[in-house]
Structure 1
Amino acid sequence: MKPFIATAFLVALLSTNATAAVDADLTNIMRQWAHVNYEIDGDAQEKAFEGLAKEIALYSEAHPGQAEGHIWAGIVHSSFAGAKGGLGALGLAKEAKKDFEKAIAIDGNALQGSAYTSLGTLYAQVPGWPVGFGSDKKAQELFNKSLAINPDGIDINYFYAQFLYDERKYEKAKAHLLKAQSAAPRVDRPLADKYRQQEVAELLAKVERKLSRK
């Protein structure tokens, strides 16, 4: 099984420059997610994600027609899966998949195409049949859609670079990581940006080591 990548489950991933449909309650959930995902670990992190999953479930149920709520439900479930790990995470990954699909059905452009980025990451990381639903082909398709919407975003370029790295396409991965490094900072997401840029730098160092061996 491919390991779940907690930080890859975005999806500090969201570029919330378009915040028209993001209210104070959802903004609070987003900030909690960044703290739990990056600043807590071990059993405490898993427990915190469990509580956050309940909170976002109430929010998305209260706003069934809002794509942003479903996107964040998927992010929380995905991140919870990353913290949980193992076969027990697969059920959470499937819940996240449903969340992202609901968001896309409502508005695929919401939060600059973040549902496509998140769902693409799931398809890239989840095991394939018969264990799970993973598919590199589907992941590529979803990443392409997200890049068409938000070609300069930090998250899409980081997660696509991770996918390319796993595919051993190091030159292309480097190009997307450099785009991620130069992405405009998100004023309302300073914590997420701080840690995402650390992840970008770490992956870029790995890519550079691979390229130096050629």
Structure 2
Amino acid sequence: MKRLIMYTCLALLTSAALADEALDNELASLQHAWAKATYQTSKDQQEASFKTLSEQAHQLTAKNPEANEAQIWEAIVLGGYAKSMGPLHPVNALKAAEQARDLLQASIKTNPQALNGSAYTTLGSLYFRVPGWPIGFGDKKKGREYLEKALQLNPTGIDSNYFYADYLRAQGDNAQAVTYYQKALQAPARPGREDADAGRKQDIEDGLKLAQSKLK
């Protein structure tokens, strides 16, 4: 009987480990596809790429409803999808942004520290970029609060510093923006995310140049 229990426990542990490995592999694939759609796809093809990617991301979340990482990455993809639609399809873009917001808020409720607080980073970016009332849910104050929370959880992260810098520049605080862009450039590399890091560093350098030009 004891041996049967031991074998059953080992089988359950093995099954859980295999499930975690499968999720990790699918998340890695999604991350690379996002980097390709974001940084290596022409503007006129991005909407179609993100549409396909958002469907894949939703399937991954549906298969792993308890996985905060899947929720966060579906939201990140939806944010890219909303941005790719831009002013040409404002209703659909806002719908995608709202779906992303809801996923991120749900993730924060169950595990606010998932992916080093990435839900706060993405949520903050959405709130400061989406138009405010009566068009959308955008709110600059909430955006800042979420981005500052992201920095508390991940003070040296490339994304947490970049998005906060972008927020500061958008608000006209270019001196502070320069500080955070520089911190973002000094962020440690993310193993397995080399494609995303390369694209993000270009974003950072572009933002840094804009902020510095306003200080002259």
* TM-score range relative to shorter protein: 0.7 to 0.9
- The answer on whether the counterparts of 1:22 and 1:68 sit within 8 Å (CA) in structure 2 is no
Structure 1, gaps ≥5 residues long: 1-18
Match of 2:189 in 1: 185
Q: Deviations over 1:118-169 (max 9, x none)?
A: 0000000001011100001101110111111001101111010000001111
Aligned pairs for 1:2-41 (under 5 A) are: 23-41=24-42
Going from structure 1 to structure 2, the CA distance change for 1:43 and 1:206 (only over 3 Å counts) comes to: closer
The residue type equivalent to 2:129 in the other structure is Q
Whether contact under 8 Å (2:131, 2:137) holds in the other structure is yes
Q: CA RMSD in A?
A: 1.5
Percent of counterpart pairs with the same letter?
Answer: 37
For these two proteins, the number of residue pairs brought into alignment is 194
Correspondent of 2:214 among 205, 210, 214: 210
Indicate yes or no: 2:128 matched with 1:124. Answer: yes
Instruction: Flag the structure with larger Rg.
Output: 2
**TM-aligned CA deviation for residue 22 of structure 1:** 5.4
Contact between 2:178 and 2:211, CA under 8 Å: does it hold in 1? yes
Q: Any gaps of 5 or more consecutive residues in structure 2? A: 1-19
1:157 equivalenced with 2:161 (yes/no) = yes
| Structure 1 moving runs of 4+ over 6 Å | none
- Counterpart-to-counterpart distance in 1, 2:22 and 2:138: 31
Match of 1:44?
45
Q: Is this contact kept in 2: 1:65–1:106, CA < 8 A?
A: no
| Larger RCO (CA within 8 A; separation ≥ 6) | 1
Contact 2:164–2:180 at 8 Å: present in 1 too? yes
Pair 1:142 & 2:173 matched: no
Whichever residue aligns with residue 74 of structure 1, its letter is A
1:58-137 equivalent positions in 2, closer than 5 A: 58-86=59-87, 87=90, 88-137=92-141
Considering fraction of residues, name the structure with more helix: 2
Structure 1 residues 171 and 42, CA, compared in 2 at 3 Å: closer, same or farther? closer
